[in-house]
Structures are given as structure tokens and as C-alpha cells.
Amino acid sequence: MLELITNNEILAAIVALLGLAAAFGALLGFAAERFKVEGDPVVEKIDALLPQTQCGQCGYPGCRPYAEAISQGDEINKCPPGGDTTIAALADLLGREPKPLDGEAQDIPKVAYIHEDECIGCTKCIQACPVDAILGAARHMHTVIESECTGCDLCVDPCPVDCIDMLPRQRTPDEWYWPLPDGPGHRPTSVTPTLIATDRVSAIGQGAGHG
Amino acid sequence: MAKAFDFPGGIHPPQRKALSTRTPLIQAALPTHVVLPMDQHIGNPAEPCVEIGQRVRTGERVALAQGMISADVHASITGTVTAIEEHPIPHPSQGKRLCVVIERDPNGDDDWCRMPPLDWRHADEDTLLERLRHSGVVGLGGAGFPTQIKARVRELHAIDTLLVNAAECEPYITADDLTLRTYPDDVIEGAQLFARLCGAERILIGIEDNKPEAVEALNESLRRHAEDSVPIELKIIATRYPSGGEKQLIKRLLNREVPSHGLPADVGVLCHNPGTLRAAVRAVRDGEPLISRVVTLTGEALARPGNVEARLGTSMHELLNAAGLKEDELARLVMGGPMMGFALDTTALPLAKTTNCLIAATEHELPAPPKEQPCIRCAACEQVCPASLLPQQLYWFAKAREHDKAELFNLFDCIECGACSYVCPSHIPLVQYYQAAKGEIRERRREAHKAEHARHRFEFRQARLAHEAAEKEAKRQARAQAASRVAARTAQPSRQEPRGEDAATAKEQVKQLRIAQAAAKAALRKAEKALARASEAGEGELDDLEVQVATARENLQATEARLAAAQKDEQQGEPRQ
Ligand code: SF4
Ligand code: SF4
Ligand code: SF4
Ligand code: SF4
């Protein structure tokens, strides 16, 4: 047998390749087992579409658990912070029918605000905040890092002295933008070019040949 | 290069520049108080660094730049800080922003606090960049981009041409024109300074042919500066709106196309406005930070229109009154030009670094815009678009909120010049549609980024909690074992059998935890590498990556704590076997 193989070049090549394939296959199998990364691509994709407010209004302790539940067949309309946009995106991803939101839609983005003079420093809000957006130590006043707060509401109830309010998130001038015009039949709310309407008439009248 | 190339489209609106060029540039009277907004530039607002009641001198810094893209703010008069509060600022949102208010000394002195003068021809580059960083200079053409960042362009791009954008193509505005007529030497020196900083081999000045006086002044100054290191060439182009768009001017003068989503630096060009160059050279040569600017005061509701150099933070009301504002004739106040500017509700606003022009227009001059009519698909808009876009298509996409399609049709290449709206026979405010669409797209990106960030923070917290729980559990076990050992010594147990099973599961557990530990280590290494790469390249969301590294570290510590506990368990079991 060995002789046959060594004498026949083609057979030798095949055997060598088979051997290599088996060795690498085993190695790959071992690596896959050894360095298995947790995570399911579908869950990742669903999670990426959720607003990450981590508020638990969907009935799960955070967005990721809800993403897992959706991948197991739960409804896609349980996330109020995401609203219709998220439902539409999820329906698109999963090929399901979009459904009306189960619950009350959120109107405007909010952030938590702690009335620091009333805060007794009990740390209950810190424990409730899912994104570590509250700073403070025991018996010292607490404050919210506005840029980190997702507006999830979870810190409001635990506060024993009711010193946390949810206020509308302020927009910086950089974030401000012109709203879409009202459409035909309305006067534009912005300023520009139609402003010099009279100029245009005269410019066209002069054959637009202005120097 | 003798031949001028051309950009597509463009329009010829009436100039109306003569209104404000008849009188020479004058110095505005020193204001009795100034209101200095913390964001007069693109990027993060500055943070006040003075206290109420503090006395400040002209040129003293009152607010510090925050983060990468930001600019300092300096006191523009000598006096006392009387308030640091929200105040209306000139912005299309008509919103309020944090401002530092300074009341001028009753004796009226203008006591300067200058930085030491620098000889920019010989000072080393870092000193110059540092100086620009502390002088609060931003693009004075209207955009307000911090100048020191543009000065660092060399770090990422090779620049061969410095382009002085003196086209000033928008009707009414003459601030650059008057700056060039009055201070041609400063502008040219500023151009030389920037040519040195960015390594340009030549300087081009692009100017429209409707400014013969400025051209004359420049030519004279060039003769005086004939021996300067970097050759300067003056290019006069025919007047057409919007030849002052960066991309349009580059195409026109150099026949280079700035790529979609690209910057002039991508084709080896750096653009600067003459006013900015003058401000930069004053900051370096004279040690004077940016505390004043040239502003065009024009419109038919003014008795004495013209250009003034005024201290930043001066009330527009004061400036307009000094120019003879006829309040009963004022129908509309516009900041910027009539094509790209925006209307202001009130004159009780401070002059900002980006205020290049104020138009006090009568009803007859700038009537209220007519009602929007349906698009008749005449394609007039397409013929005038200087960016070769399809404005009509963009309009439909913006209206229907089909943002993906709008982006596909290069919405973000629109320079918002307003040429399309200007010619649209249906009076459609096209630019506002594009601005709204861009705003919605940017907001969506911001939200997505915020969500991503919140997810990482959430994961970090989960990992931290797991780590804490694991450590607590390990400690509890250690205590329990110590207790059971004591118990075992006192009363010899006969628990040999279950021990064997325990040991087997303990071994299995240790094995699994080892695997988890290896995975956690790999994840940490990966996160650290990503962070290192991002901080080296200076891009990406560093804080987000830092959170991810911290998460990976917590995860690793949690598994290590569990592993250590399990190993102890195992060792405990073994000797008894
Ligand atoms: S309701 Fe939405 S935002 Fe809140 S935890 Fe559930 S998925 Fe996240
Ligand atoms: S601060 Fe309050 S509202 Fe904001 S994320 Fe934390 S728990 Fe939610
Ligand atoms: S110019 Fe106005 S009416 Fe004509 S195609 Fe463009 S948007 Fe429509
Ligand atoms: S505003 Fe935009 S779409 Fe309209 S002409 Fe100018 S660049 Fe083209």
C-alpha cells in the first residue's frame, strides 16, 4: 500500500492533500470551539435598530434582551421610545408586517434633571440608571451627565424625595435646522432668495445680463 | 495659467453693491457695553473663564475653546464683566445662548492687553500655530470655521496653492472689497503667512471684475511686496453668482474638481477670505486677538449705508442707528447676503464674528416672498446649479423625506447658494427643502450615534455589575470554605463520595471558565488595539472606544474572579480524592 502510494505521484498528492485538509479541519474545528464568540448576528442587527434607551418599557430589562426576544418571535411593536420609525425598520429587517405601537409614543426627547438642593444623596437613582449617567456619592448631591442620559425615566420613581424631573432635551444651535416648508400655497418661512423677487423681475426684464 | 476655466450654471442677480461702497471704511464708535456669545464659530461653544465683577482689558481672553474644533473669545472693550447669561444671538433659530456681557469703564479708556508680537517670517511653526489657537480667529466670510485648524492642514494634505477668495459674489456685501481697498498690505502679508504655514508654492487672489478699486489697491501693494518669498498672482474673473463658492472658484481658476464630499485640501488648495487673513496677521504680528471685524451696513432703510469696523459684541441696534436707520421704513433685517443670509427678528442682537453684512431693507426693496406654487418641471433650476445637481429631483426627495435617494443624488454637495430658488418660477423655497433634509439626515446620524454610545455604556454597566457580583461570590465562597474546613477538622466527615462528583463538575467549570477567560482576554486586546489605532489616526469616537475597552476589562476581571474561585474549589477537592 505504502509502496503503491509512493510510486504513484498523483495518489501521493491526493493523500498529502487529504492529510492537510484533515489537519486543518481539525484545527479550525478546535479554534471555533475554543474561541467561540458569543452573539447571534440577527440579534445584533435587531439590537442595532433599537433606540438603546434601556428603559424597559418593552417588558424586558434593556434593549438587548428585547432584541433576543424578537429574534425568538416576540412582537416588534413594543418599544415606545423607538416609535413607528423603529417598527418600520424592524419590519423591513425581519420581513414582518409593521404594526401600530403597543403603548404610548414618546413625544420629545427628554433628559433627567436632579434638583441638587433637594437631593439627599441616597444613591438610589445611581443604582437605577442603566447607562451610569448619574454622578455622586452616598450622602452627597447627585447630578446627571446630560450627554449620557437616554431619558429612560428609570431614575424618577426610585427617588424618595421626588427631586428628579424629566425635562425636554435642549438643542444646540449646531443641532438646529430649518423645518421642511409647508408646501405649495404657503409663504416660505425661511428668508432667502425669493426675497429679491423684484430683482428677479427686473433682472429678467433686462435679459439677465447684469455685470 | 492664462485661461480661466468655468463652473456650470450661475446667475446674475442685481449687485446693489454701490450702496455701501461710496464711503470709505470707518471705525465705529466704541460701544458702552458688549455681549459676547460663546458660540460664534463652527464647533463646540467656548467656556467662560472670567467671573462676574472681574475687570477685563481689551484683548483679554474671556472664554476658552473647548475640544478640537472651537475658538477662544476675547474682551472687545475694557471694562467689567457684568453678566454671564443666556442672550439672544444672531442665528436662524432666533435662539438664546450663553454670553459674557462687559460694561465699558465710565472713563472710557481702551486699555489693550496684547500678546507679544511675533516675527512670523522667522518664528517657528509651532509658535505660530499656538498663537493662532489663542487669538480666536475664525473664518470671517460667514462660515466661522476656526482658522488654526485650517492652518494645520499640512499635517494631512499636501497644499500647493493658497487661494485668497476675494470674489465676494453675493449682492449687497462689500466688506471684503473695503477691507482690500483699505488694508491691502495686511491681506497680502496674511496670505504670505498662511502660504508659509501650509507650504503653498504660490498664492492666487481670485476677485470679481466689479471691484476695480480693490484690484488697484492690491496691484499697488503687490508692487511694494515684489520681493516676497511666495509668488502672488491676481486673477480677475467676470462677475457671476456664485463664483465665490470655494469649489466654484477652484474650478474657475485652477480647473480642479473638488471631489464629492471632499475639501479643497483634497486637490491641494487652501482657501481663505481676505478679512480672515488680515485678522490672522494682526494676531501674529501685532499680538491682537480677534476683537473687531468689518461689517457692511446697507439697505435702503439706512440714511448712511457703508462699511464700518466695529468691536465684536456691539449691539446691531447701535450700529444701524449710527448708519441712520429709518425705523419706519425697515421691513426686514437680513444678516449675510440676500441669497444665503437669514432674516433677524430684532436689532437687539450682538455683532458676531460671522456677521459680515446687515441689510436693513425697505418693503419695496425686499418684499415678502410670494406663496409657493407647485413645481412645473421647467428645469430652470438645473440650468443654474453651480454644483451640477438636479435641484428638482432633490426637491421631490426632500419633500417626500426620501433621504436615501436625496443622498444618492448628492444632496450634501449642494452649497445652498440659492441660485435654483432664485430662478424657480413657482417661488419654491428650494434651499429650505434641502436644509431641512440635510438637518433631518444629520439628526438621524446623531441619534444613531447616541444610541450606539448608550449601548456601550449599558454594556459597560452590565459588565461592571457582573464583575462586582463575581467578586462578592468568590469572597462568600472563600468564607464558606474556611468555615467548612474548620468544621471538617473537628468532626471527621464521611463525605468522600459526593466529593468525587463535585471535583468532576469543578474541573469542567474551570475548563469552561478558562475558555471564557481566553475569549475575554482576546476581546480586551481587540478593543485596546482599536482604541490605539483610532487615537493614532486621531479619528473615530475615542470616548466610545474607551468605554468598550473598560467593558472588556470588567468582563475579563469578572471571569478571572470566577475562575480563581472555581480553581480554589478544585484544589480543595483534589487532595481528598
Ligand atoms: S422599550 Fe425600547 S428603548 Fe426601552 S428597553 Fe425596550 S427596546 Fe430599549
Ligand atoms: S439619568 Fe435617569 S433618565 Fe437619564 S439615563 Fe439615567 S436613569 Fe435614565
Ligand atoms: S425651477 Fe422650480 S418649477 Fe422649475 S423644475 Fe425647478 S423646482 Fe420645478
Ligand atoms: S442651492 Fe444647491 S441645488 Fe440649488 S443651485 Fe445652489 S447648489 Fe444647486
Render pLDDT for B297-332 as a digit per residue (tens, 0 to 9): 999 999 999 999 999 999 999 999 999 999 999 998
pLDDT of residue B352: 94
Residues A51/A86, Cβ–Cβ less than 8 Å? yes
Q: Could you give the C-alpha distances from B562 to A36, B336, B458, B480, in angstroms and in order?
A: 19, 65, 22, 15
Q: Is residue B189 part of a domain?
A: yes
pLDDT score at B177:
95
Measured distance CA(B556)–CA(B251) in Å, rounded:
55
The residue to mutate among A52, A54, A76, A86, having the most atoms of ligand 1 within 8 angstroms of its beta carbon, is A54
**ipTM of this complex prediction, to 2 decimal places:** 0.70
* B481 within some domain: no
Tally of CB atoms within 10 A around B498 = 8
| Helices B542-573, B496-537: inter-axial angle, 10-degree rounding | 160
DSSP state of B264: G
Q: Cβ contact (<8 Å) for A191 and B440?
A: no
Which amino acid would we find at residue B233?
Answer: E
Ligand 2 atom with minimal separation from the A132 CA: 6
> In this predicted model, what pLDDT tens digit does every residue of B176-202 receive, in sequence order?
999 999 999 999 999 999 999 988 999
Cα–Cα distance, A134 to A126 (Å, whole number): 6
Whether the CB of A150 is below 8 Å from some CB of chain B: the reply is yes
Number of H helices, E strands in chain A: 7, 4
Which of B427, B428, B431, B433 has most ligand 3 atoms within 8 Å of CB, for mutation?
A: B428
Range of the structural domain that residue B81 is part of:
18-311
Which chain B residue lies closest to A33 (C-alpha atoms)?
Answer: B515
Note whether residue B401 is domain-resident: no
pLDDT confidence of A205, banded at 50, 70, 90?
very low
What average pLDDT does this structure show over B78-88?
Answer: 93
Three cell numbers, residue B503: 471535583
Q: Is A150 exposed, middle or buried (0-12, 13-18, 19+ CB in 10 A)?
A: buried
Q: What share of chain B is helix, strand, coil (3-state, %, to 5)?
A: 45, 15, 40
Task: For chain A, list the strands marked E by DSSP.
Answer: 110-114, 134-135, 143-144, 164-168
Number of Cα atoms under 13 Å in the Cβ half of residue B30: 17
Cβ(B485)–Cβ(B479) under 8 Å? no
Helix, strand or coil for residue A115? Answer: coil
* Grid cell in block for residue A47: 439590537
Lowest mean per-residue pLDDT among A103-117, B225-239, B297-311: A103-117
B109: Cβ contacts below 8 Å, ≥ 6 apart: B78
Task: Transcribe B313-342 into DSSP letters.
Answer: T-BHHHHHHHTTB-GGGEEEEEES-TTT-E
Q: Which residues of chain B have a CB within 8 Å of the CB of A35?
A: 518-519, 522
Cβ contact (<8 Å) for A148 and B454?
yes
Tell me if B79 is assigned to some domain.
yes
Interchain proximity A177–B435, CB inside 8 Å: yes
| pLDDT at residue number A201 | 33
Between strands B202-208 and B232-237, the pairing is parallel
- Across B6-33, average pLDDT: 91
Q: What is the CATH number of domain A41-94?
A: 1.10.15.40
DSSP summary character for residue B82? E
Q: How far is the CA of B365 from the centre of ligand 3 (A)?
A: 24
Angle between helices B175-182 and B212-224 (to 10 degrees): 30
- Going by pLDDT thresholds of 50, 70 and 90, the confidence category of residue A2 is low
Q: What percent of chain B has pLDDT over 70?
A: 94
Ligand 3 site, residue B431, Cβ cutoff 6 A: no
pLDDT at A98 over 70: yes
Each residue of B457-475: pLDDT tens digit?
888 888 888 888 888 888 8
Read off the pLDDT of residues B536-568 as tens digits, 9 standing for 90 and up.
Answer: 665 556 777 887 888 888 888 888 888 887 777
Q: pLDDT exceeding 70 applies to what percent of chain A?
A: 80
Q: Taking residues A5-14, report their average pLDDT.
A: 75
* pLDDT interval class at A41 (50, 70, 90): confident
B457 falls within a domain: no
Residues near ligand 4 (Cβ within 6 A): B 384-387, 389, 391, 414-420, 430-431
Per-residue pLDDT, averaged over B79-103, amounts to 91
DSSP state of B575: G
A70: CB partners within 8 A, 6+ apart: A46, A76, A90, A94
Give the residue, B422 or A200, on which the prediction is more confident: B422
The CATH number covering residue B214 comes to 3.40.50.11540
B559 interface with A at CB cutoff 8 Å: no
Selection from B574, B470, B477, B560 nearest residue B521 by Cα: B560
Fold category of A108-198 in CATH: Alpha-Beta Plaits (3.30.70)
Residues 6+ apart with CB under 8 A from A184: B371, B372, B373, B374, B426, B428
Amino acid letter, residue B196: R
Q: How many beta carbons lie within 10 A of that of residue B529, not counting itself?
A: 11
User: How much is the mean pLDDT over chain A?
Assistant: 77
Report the candidate in B152, B113, B156 with the shortest Cα–Cα distance to residue B135.
B113
Instruction: Inform me whether the pLDDT recorded for A208 exceeds 50.
Output: no
Mutate to test the pocket of ligand 4, among B169, B243, B385, B424 (most ligand atoms within 8 A of CB): B385
With a pLDDT cut of 90, the percent of chain A lying above it is 3
CB-defined contacts A:B, below 8 A: 192
d(C-alpha B464, C-alpha B228), whole Å: 63
Q: State yes or no: A125 annotated in a binding site.
A: yes
Query: Helix (H, G, I), strand (E, B), or coil: what is residue B232?
Result: strand
* Cα B102 from chain centroid (whole Å): 26
Amino acid at site A100:
P
> What is the per-residue pLDDT for A192?
47
Contacts of A50 in chain B (CB under 8 A): 451
Query: Is B373 in contact with A184 (Cβ distance < 8 A)?
Result: yes
Predicted structure pTM score? 0.80
Q: Is residue B349 part of a domain?
A: no
Average pLDDT over residues B361-376: 88
pLDDT at B4 over 60: no
Closest alpha carbon to B311 in B22, B24, B23, B32: B32
In a 13 Å sphere around the CA of A157, the CA atoms on its Cβ side amount to 5
